[in-house]
Amino acid sequence: MQEILSTIDTGTIEWSRAQFALTAIYHWLFVPLTLGLAVIMGIMETCYYRTKDVFWRDVAKFWQRLFGINFAMGVATGIILEFEFGTNWSNYSWFVGDIFGAPLAIEGIVAFFMESTFVAVMFFGWKKVSAGFHLAATWLTGLGATISAWWILVANAWMQNPVGCEFNPDTMRNEMVSFADVALSPFAIDKFCHTVISAWIIGAVFTVAVSGWYLMKRREVPLAKVSLKIGAIVGIVASIGAALTGHHSAYSVAQVQPMKLAAMEALYNGGTDQSLTGIALINPFEQPDYANQEEPDLKIAAPYALSFLATNDLHGYVPGINDIIKGGYINAKGEVELSLDEKIERGKQAITALASYRQAKKDGADETSLASQLAIIKENMPYFGYGYIKSADQIVPFVPVNFYAFRVMVGMGCLLILFFAVILFFVYRKDITRAPKWLYLSAIVMVPLSYIASESGWLVAEFGRQPWTIQDMLPTWVSVSNLQSSSVMITFFIFLALFTTLLVVELSILFKQIKKGPEYEQV
């Protein structure tokens, strides 16, 4: 039976995006706690190793049990993401697989095996290996998870800022020409630092919240006291670190993804001396009329702050959505930015020349003819993806999501610094075991809020680069697999039902385990 769809089903694109978003959001519920708790339990086991006090071993074991429950879900949700590049984004997988596949393979060889080997030693090796070997296993589990984060964020950063590659018209794909540029791109380093540090915050908030609950209930006081202190120290360091790396990330975005920054800021018309919007009124359910509106209603902003954030200069030029569409300004590279129409035209020239080149080669055309086509391809390749764009609205991300998600992330980040500072005040200046109830309750409330902040960060990163799977190179509708939308819709709902059910079970087990508390071994 031959049934090849002659055009891409638009439903397939939307369901594939929804499925990837769903699985990525679920995965990111578990990964930050894994990364964060890895640091916390590593510190605790180090205390045991140094003091030989069995109390610290019991504390470390308690947090490792909670780590294990969460870790299982991270693994379960993670396998899907890697394979989804192939199953749902097959054109993407060929077009950039030469570059994108490498970080994923290295992640498997270097990170996953380290993580999976030593996590078994960590859980089951307490009586089977020496204390030193066990401590190494605990830290190597965390290190494996962190190296894994490095490579997957290298891959993600490359999608946002494709570097170290060249298009090969003979193989019809992009090929890697510099591994160092891919693996050590500044964009990737910023992304890694900001993401991993923000994950430590989640681990810290979780530790402080569980400890706070024990203190509120007046139980497990010694464990709660030391855990809360370690959690709060990790938390304040990580929160300040997240703010600093966040500034770097925003600067990077301004350099390579100005449209994302414009959407984050709801900046319709840019210019010099731009202010950073604190709050403004934007309908959360529909795209604003950026073409005709000067700026959002009820905008309250900090003068010059956006220019400083984007250019490190209080008077720097920041393009708005309309500026990017119209072009004509000097961009971050110091070149005159082309208008969208010009980019579309040049993208089409690249695609047409590519088709002509392939046909000419098939027909056995002479070298001169091929060389002229190659020259057109090379000249216009930076705008290749724009050849598939039909109108301006296709290149503008959904502003409300970016605008509000960015503010939730930044607002929560500031609140977290304050929160950890207050906790540490009580730890060092007051008696944290007899703190007011509101403090313990606020610690518990901070758990869902910090998760919302963390997921908001990903919403900004991923919604903000729409419609591109690879910035300026490949839009989503050229990246997708040729599947019936019904197939993807069914798997979307299977994932939704499966992950939600497992999440509920995980939370139930986690709460029971916390309620049960640590097991103190008789000495």
Partner 1 sequence: MITYEFLQQYWWFLVSLLGALLVFLMFVQGANSLVWSLGTNETERRLIVNSTGRKWEFTFTTLVTFGGAFFASFPLFYSTSFGGAYWLWMLILFSFVLQAVSYEFQNKLGNMLGARTFQLMLILNGIVGPLLLGGAVATFFEGSNFLVEKNNITDMAQPVISQWANASHGLDALLNPWVLVFGFAVFFLARILGILYVMNNVNDENIRSRASVRLVGATICFLVLFVVYLVHLLLMDGYAWNPLTGDIMMEPNKYLHNFLEMWYVLVLLLIGVVLVLYGIVRTILSKTYVAGIWHVGIGVVLTVLALLLCAGWNHTAYYPSTADLQSSLTIANSCSSEFTLRTMAIVSLLIPFVLAYIIVAWRKIDKKKLDKDEITNDEAY
Residues 199-228 that bind partner 1 (CB under 8 A): none
**Which of 37/510 has CB closer to partner 1?**
510
CB of 71 to partner 1, least distance (A): 8
Among 50, 113, 313, 437, binds partner 1 (CB under 8 A): 113
List of residues 6+ apart from 435 with CB closer than 8 A = 215, 426
Nearer to partner 1, 130 or 292 (CB): 130
In the bound state with partner 1, the residue whose beta carbon lies nearer, of 112 and 308, is 112
Applying CB under 8 A, among 28, 42, 60, 77 the residue interacting with partner 1 is: 77
The C-alpha angle 471, 474, 477, rounded to 5 degrees, equals: 125
Q: Does 85 bind partner 1 (CB under 8 A)?
A: yes
Nearer to partner 1 among residue 173 and residue 378 (C-beta): 173
User: Cα dist. 464→13, 254, 347, 397 in Å?
Assistant: 17, 12, 21, 6
Q: Which is nearer to partner 1, 425 or 520 (CB)?
A: 520
Q: Are 27 and 451 in contact (CB under 8 A)?
A: no
Residues 373-392 that bind partner 1 (CB under 8 A): 388
- Asked whether position 69 contacts partner 1 by CB under 8 A, the answer is yes
* CA-derived radius of gyration, the chain: 25
Q: For partner 1, which residue of 437, 482, 497, 500 counts as binding (CB under 8 A)?
A: 482
* 330 to 369: interface string for partner 1, x by CB under 8 A: ---------------------xx-xx--x-----------
CB of 119: closest distance to partner 1 in angstroms?
7
Binding residues for partner 1 restricted to 154-183, rule: CB under 8 A: 168, 171-173, 175-177, 179
Find the part of the chain contacting partner 1 (CB under 8 A) among 47-55, 243-251, 272-280, 512-520.
512-520
Which run of H or of E encompasses 337? Answer: none
Minimum CB–partner distance for residue 6 and partner 1 (Å): 6
Cα–Cα distances (Å) from 191 to 34, 127, 293, in that order, read 18, 39, 33
CA-closest candidate to residue 133, choices 124, 107, 51, 37: 124
The site string for partner 1 over 442-481 (x = CB under 8 A, - otherwise) reads -----------------------------------xx-xx
404, two tokens? 């509000």
Coil vs helix vs strand at 49: helix
Query: What would the two tokens of residue 247 be?
Result: 């500034």
Q: What is the DSSP string of 280-294?
A: EE--TTS---TTT-S
Is cis: bond before 382, omega within 30 of 0? Answer: no
11 is a site residue for partner 1 (CB under 8 A): no
Binding of residue 371 to partner 1 (CB under 8 A): no
Tell me whether residue 488 is exposed, middle or buried, using C-beta atoms within 10 angstroms of its C-beta: 0 to 12, 13 to 18, 19 or more: buried
Return the residue of 25, 72, 143, 444 that touches partner 1, per CB under 8 A. Answer: 72
Q: In a 3-state reduction of DSSP, which class is residue 340? A: helix
Query: Rounded CA gap, 224 and 435, in Å?
Result: 13
CA dist., res. 50 & res. 367, Å (int):
72
Residue 64 C-beta: closest distance to partner 1, Å? 9
The neighbour count for residue 300, using CB atoms within 10 Å, is 9
Interaction with partner 1 in 119-138: which residues (CB under 8 A)?
A: 119-121, 123-129, 133, 137
Interface characters, 489-508, with partner 1 (x: CB under 8 A) = --x--x---x--xx-xxx-x
Size of the site for partner 1 (CB under 8 A): 101
Pairwise CA distance, residues 200 & 37, whole Å: 7
In whole angstroms, give the CA distance from residue 359 to residue 176. 25
102 counts as binding partner 1 under rule CB under 8 A: yes
One residue of 25, 55, 58, 117 binding partner 1 per CB under 8 A: 117
Q: Is 394 in the site for partner 1 (CB under 8 A)?
A: no
Q: Does 418 bind partner 1 (CB under 8 A)?
A: no
Piece in contact with partner 1 (CB under 8 A), picked from 96-104, 226-234, 415-423, 427-435? 96-104
Region binding partner 1 by CB under 8 A among candidate stretches 31-39, 117-125, 310-318, 329-337: 117-125
Residue in the block written with tokens 């027909």: 363
What gap in Å lies between CA 138 and CA 446, rounded to an integer? Answer: 27
d(CA 351, CA 386) in angstroms, rounded, equals 10
